[in-house]
Amino acid sequence: MNTKPIVLILAGGKGSRFRSRTPKALHPILGKPMAALVLDAVRALRPSRTFAVVGDRREEFARSFAGAGLELIRQKEDLGTGGAVLSARHALALKAGRDVLVVPSNMPLLTGPTLKALLRTHRKREYSVTVLCAPGAPLEIPPAGSGGAVCAFKARDLLKALSKLRRQGRRPFPLNDVVRLLAGSGRSGVYRARKAVELFEVGTRYDLALAAAFLRVRKIRALALKGVSFLDPSSAWIDLDVRVGEDTVIHPSVIIEGNSRIGRDCRVHPFVYIRNARIGDRVRIFGPTDIEDCTLEDDSRAGPFSRLRAKTVVKPGARVGNFVEMKNTVFGSRSRALHLSYLGDSEVGEDVNIGAGTITCNYDGVRKNRTTIGDGVFIGSGTELVAPVKVGKGAYVAAGSTITKDVSPEALAVARARQVEKTGWVRRKRR
């Protein structure tokens, strides 16, 4: 018998108790669809083929699992879990000499080692069907009509049982009816999981939250064992695909989502939100700060009260401070924007000082325009840079200027009205 099994993930449930237009299997847990967590577990088996039986939202599954090697089979009628397996009978018939592992998509706490142990027991005992059960459970097949289960089958025996039930006209029927039918031959058994939590089934949104809470602790523990410090593990929220380098310290009330990557020896302070970001080594982020779809390179600083938006790159040693927002901006090495500024669609060189209250006027009502600031430039406070505009290397822009034309290198640009004082004006006004 070929050692690589076929895996069948049952993902056709509509999730009516979720009260959602999204299929239950696609609801996310810590940044990944619930069915993707099951897929991660079954990959430990190195299956020859992996199928998912889905309902009438096949396109959504195809988008969510593009490139994941998951083959989709549409279940045209709601025939229960047994009917879902029946929908895959043609695919199973092509590999009738192999083992088949059937896994519900609503069991996101399953692990690869448990599924491997189930399959080993199934093959060692040469059972027609082996059912995964909780530790301490009776060593017997679940009763007919009971809920879904994780089962290993001999494909040939499974196909025979499905054919027999189909001829009996049993619609819909649960998977355990197939199990009971095979158990009658005496070639069936069970395997007890080491941890009962792995058999937790998500049926409601509250169950989804409970599963997320368990996986969050599992993720934080794994990072801690690799050298990451959490000052308050109970308040940190870390998605499953996040990576963090050793000697980094995560303070309380930090959220890190998506496929974010954080380097070594960083400090992430309270109330920081990071999503799909790349953070280098020795970076300090003071909260509250919002960082999404951007990069902070080695030794840079951000916050508190900073917002760094898509396509922003903060170069090594640069500092972004209080109430500063950046979008689609490259901010050069050792440059500083420490107070109350907005830089959008900008290219900022090295060793630049951005004075408080500086903004790039990047939108003219029709299109976004870029601002380019050369190395060593000093931008005085309260400056408006009306894009498209360039400030040359080493130039100085006086505070309160509105710059609408390019500034030459090492020039002083002053673009403001001359101060006028009218003596006694206030006294006359009051009269």
Catalytic site positions: 339
Is the preceding peptide bond at 23 cis, omega within 30 degrees of 0? Answer: no
Q: Backbone phi, then psi, for 131, in 5-degree steps?
A: -105, 135
- Which is it for strands 6-11 and 28-29: parallel, antiparallel or unpaired? unpaired
Q: Is 366 left (phi over 0), alpha (psi -120 to 50) or beta?
A: alpha
**What is the rounded distance in angstroms from the CA atom of residue 348 to the CA atom of residue 336?**
10
Sequential DSSP letters for 303-352: -SS-EE-TT-EE-TT-EEEEEEEEEEEEE-TT-EEEEEEEEEEEEE-TT-
Q: Backbone phi, then psi, for 130, in 5-degree steps?
A: -130, 125
Is residue 412 helix, strand or coil?
Answer: strand
Residues 6+ positions from 259 with CB-CB distance below 8 Å? 31, 241, 242, 276
**What is the rounded distance in angstroms from the CA atom of residue 4 to the CA atom of residue 90?**
18
Is residue 267 helix, strand or coil?
Answer: strand
Yes or no: say if 88 and 51 are a contact pair by the CB < 8 Å rule.
yes
Distance set, CA 104 to CA 21, 89, 171 (Å): 20, 17, 19
> Please, is 92 exposed, middle or buried when counting C-beta atoms within 10 Å of its C-beta (0-12, 13-18, 19+)?
buried
Distance set, CA 431 to CA 421, 422, 428 (Å): 19, 16, 5
Yes or no: say if 67 and 30 are a contact pair by the CB < 8 Å rule.
no
Among 55, 5, 45, smallest CA distance to 25 is for 55
**What is the rounded distance in angstroms from the CA atom of residue 173 to the CA atom of residue 188?**
20
CA 174 to chain CA centroid, nearest Å: 33
Return the number of other C-beta atoms located less than 10 Å from residue 101's C-beta. 23
